[in-house]
Amino acid sequence: MSEQESVTNAVDSDKAMDIEQVVTDAIQYAKKKGADHVEISARNDKGYSVSARLGDIETLEHHNQRALGVTVYRGKAKGSADSNDIRPSAIEDIIDAALSMASFTAEDEAAGLADVELMAMNYPELDLDRPWELEPDQALKIAMQCEETARADERIVNSEGASVSTIRSQSIYANSHDFLGHYASTRHSISCSVVAADEKGMQRDYWYSVARDADALDAVETIGLKARERTLRRLNARSLSTREVPVLFEPNIARSILGHFFSAINGAALYRDASFLTDDLGQNIFPDWLSISENPHIKTALASSPFDAEGVRTQARDIVSDGVLQGYILSSYSARKLNMTTTGNSGGVHNIRLPESQYTQDDLIKQMGSGVLLTELIGNGVNPVTGDYSRGAAGFWVENGEIQYPVQEITIAGNLKEMFQRIVAIGNDVDTCGGIHCGSMLMDQMTIAGSAE
């Protein structure tokens, strides 16, 4: 560690200690003013993002965002307030405001802090803080290099630009159960999007990389090259006639399919009866070869967290085992509404993983035989209550196990509950740029509607 890094870490540590004292004092103030319980969350994001377009700098934005939220409980009545001012006097003002709101709020039996025995009093160090020692002028050079690589073909006629961003966050959560948790985390990204044209029109595509550690990002040239290749391969696209065929979702699209599953088993949707998976706990949702696990403690992973947004300890678990739904995604409030216990998911899921696979995407294309490889979804035609699914899409027509030509202006349709059962294979091309880690996903049949005769 360099002398500069040591000084930076020491300063950051002092700031963390300062805000911890501020938060501790604020909890004592709230209790003195009549709160039975109180919780405070604070976050400070620092960093910058740059973007370049057509070889010139387009934007340079510095980020220094603070947010502090207070929730107080008087009995089962709740009041909340927030501010971006962390001076003690300002925090006292928002505590007073929250207490005033609680005095006018109806009691809710499900309201309150998470149970004290669930607090993460001893939480693991997950190595989430990996600062990128990168000056803005260096970031701009990276963005320009990325875009230059992406534009290195005469068919690339325009660009939506390339961007580089780096953010370091300090997060604190404390409550009147004597819990106070703090950790720092980083998030770095590089992305690029370009436009290609031929006699039949224009096409756009992109590529990106996101990681906690800058050393884990894809090479700049790789990102630019993939953005270029993905854009060029979409030229000369056609539509399709309506048909029912197998569909292969690329990893980033497959992740969205699983995202609908997690939305459906989220406690907020379940207690409102706004989910197509209400009362399906213990039922076969997926094929019996498919299991889905959650592991919040993977070091440096983007969705790792030592505790959730309520201070509850996070832990590894199986959400789906051999196709059977084992548990929901619950906060303390939604768990109480369902007469259950929180799963430590206030704030979302943590590092969702599917079984390891031996199949490459090319293997799955061959297994599909004839069908559609989907690379983009358009619009939002999903009914969370019924599970009915209809989205605009683009991708490639596959025949005899080989890609034939790009397709556009098509619609895919089905019902999510049936779609989950139709998954026949998952690829090993896992995308880890988010909370759901998934490879390509092959479904044996979906309805494809197009405009071609």
pLDDT tens-digit series, residues 63-100: 999 899 999 999 999 999 999 988 888 999 999 999 99
Is the pLDDT assigned to residue 7 strictly greater than 70? no
For the chain, the maximum distance between any two Cα atoms, rounded to a whole number of angstroms, is 74
- The closest of 72, 86, 93 to 23, measured between CA atoms, is 86
Q: Helix 3-32 vs helix 88-103: angle between axes, to the nearest 10 degrees?
A: 40
Does residue 270 share a domain with residue 173? no
pLDDT tens-digit series, residues 378-416: 988 999 999 999 999 999 999 999 999 999 999 999 999
Does residue 267 share a domain with residue 159? no
> Where does the pLDDT of residue 1 fall: very low under 50, low under 70, confident under 90, or very high at 90 and above?
very low
Q: Helix 136-150 vs helix 220-232: angle between axes, to the nearest 10 degrees?
A: 30
Does residue 260 share a domain with residue 171? no
Is the pLDDT assigned to residue 5 strictly greater than 80? no
> Where does the pLDDT of residue 331 fall: very low under 50, low under 70, confident under 90, or very high at 90 and above?
very high
Can you give the pLDDT at residue 22?
87
Q: How far is CA 417 from CA 114, 255, 445, in A?
A: 32, 16, 13
Does residue 402 share a domain with residue 304? yes
Q: Which of 230, 255, 287 is the last residue of a domain?
A: 230
Is the pLDDT assigned to residue 12 strictly greater than 70? no
Type of residue found at 10: A
Can you give the pLDDT at residue 336?
97
- The closest of 251, 255, 273 to 264, measured between CA atoms, is 273
Q: Which of 214, 230, 246 is the last residue of a domain?
A: 230
Judge whether 311 and 114 are in contact, CB under 8 Å: yes
Comparing 22 with 374, which gets the higher pLDDT?
Answer: 374
Does residue 224 share a domain with residue 244? no
Is the pLDDT assigned to residue 435 strictly greater than 50? yes
Domain count along the chain: 2
Q: Which two tokens stand for residue 60?
A: 């340079």
Does residue 179 share a domain with residue 264? no
Q: Which of 213, 230, 247 is the last residue of a domain?
A: 230
pLDDT tens-digit series, residues 43-52: 999 999 999 9
Contacts by 204-209, CB closer than 8 A, 24 or more apart: 204/160, 204/231, 204/234, 205/230, 205/231, 205/234, 205/375, 205/376, 206/160, 206/230, 206/231, 208/433, 209/433
Does residue 203 share a domain with residue 132? yes
pLDDT tens-digit series, residues 232-272: 999 999 999 999 999 999 999 999 999 999 999 999 999 99
Does residue 187 share a domain with residue 266? no
Does residue 131 share a domain with residue 200? yes
Which domain does 337 fall in, by range? 237-453
Does residue 241 share a domain with residue 131? no
Can you give the pLDDT at residue 19?
79
Does residue 175 share a domain with residue 111? yes
Can you give the pLDDT at residue 18?
75
Can you give the pLDDT at residue 453?
55
